[in-house]
Amino acid sequence: MRLAFLGTGTSQGVPVIACHCDVCNSANPCDSRLRTSALLTIAAADAGRLGLGIQSGADFQPLNILFDIGPDFRQQMLRQRVDHLDAILITHAHRDHVAGLDDIRSFNYVQRRKMDIYLNAEARTAIERDYHYIFAPHQYPGLPEAELHTVDGNPFALQHTPVPVEVVPVRVMHKDLPVLGYRIGPVAYITDANHIADAELEKLRGVEVLVVNALRRDHHYSHYSLPEALEVVAAVAPREAYITHISHEMGLHDEVEASLPDGVHLAYDNLTIDI
């Protein structure tokens, strides 16, 4: 099981247009961040031990599961040389998390099927409004093809995959917007949160790898700050934790990384970890 961070920045990315701060001027590639997204790959050889309901000895092409599909999606897929995509898990419908939806067309063509997309009711309403042409009754040839699956807080199985994969949604709040985090076996991915209820926090117990957002060091009205994210990490106690959705206000990557507790890291674009 492998998690690749495709993007670790906020809605503006880093560097920010017209900004000349130390972070935006940094030559360190770890300070250059596309919009937040990650790719989880599950290989057949490891599937039996991950607690996903997959039988040991199963033989299948590695599964690729995408967390969010932001405006840098095309670039991210080309950079990682991704040639198939089994499912997309949407956290919420803000543009920095869904604006790449039009570019699923290439996968539609290669895979000869609609893309399975999982999301909550609020995100579905926004996507059907903003991408109305995809769901219109009279289709224009060559448009993206998507199958939307509305999920709530209950576990669900991915559809149209060669083996079943159970996903546990984790309901969080992004100020007053309901957002979904997701747990798949030993991995949990949460972004754009500033509150997790105790009952939802319980869903994260026992994860080996926790990904959680932190916008900057200082308090923010709709995102965790770094100290607040570290409180979540301490409560969950994973083996490792990675901070994502990072703004240029966080500071230089190397300096912030050096200040973090053992087992906690700032994620950066193209970081790949094996679980």
User: Which tens digits make up the pLDDT trace of 228-274?
Assistant: 999 999 999 999 999 999 999 999 999 999 999 999 999 999 999 99
Task: Tell me the C-alpha distance between 140 and 185, whole Å.
Answer: 39
Confidence at residue 138, expressed as pLDDT on a 0 to 100 scale: 76
Which of these CATH numbers, 3.40.50.720, 3.30.70.240, 3.60.15.10, 3.40.50.280, describes 2-274?
3.60.15.10
**256: which 2 tokens?**
């912030």
Number of CB atoms found within 10 A of residue 235's CB: 12
Tens digits of residue pLDDT in 160-185: 988 889 999 999 999 999 999 999 99
Q: What is the pLDDT of residue 53?
A: 57
What's the whole-model pTM score?
0.95
Q: Is the pLDDT of residue 44 over 80?
A: no
Sequence-separated (6 or more) residues with CB below 8 Å from residue 244: 5, 8, 36, 38, 191, 211, 212, 213, 214, 267
Hey, where are the domains in the chain? 2-274
246: part of which helix (H) or strand (E)? none
Q: What is the mean pLDDT of residues 40-56?
A: 68
Return the pLDDT at 52: 60
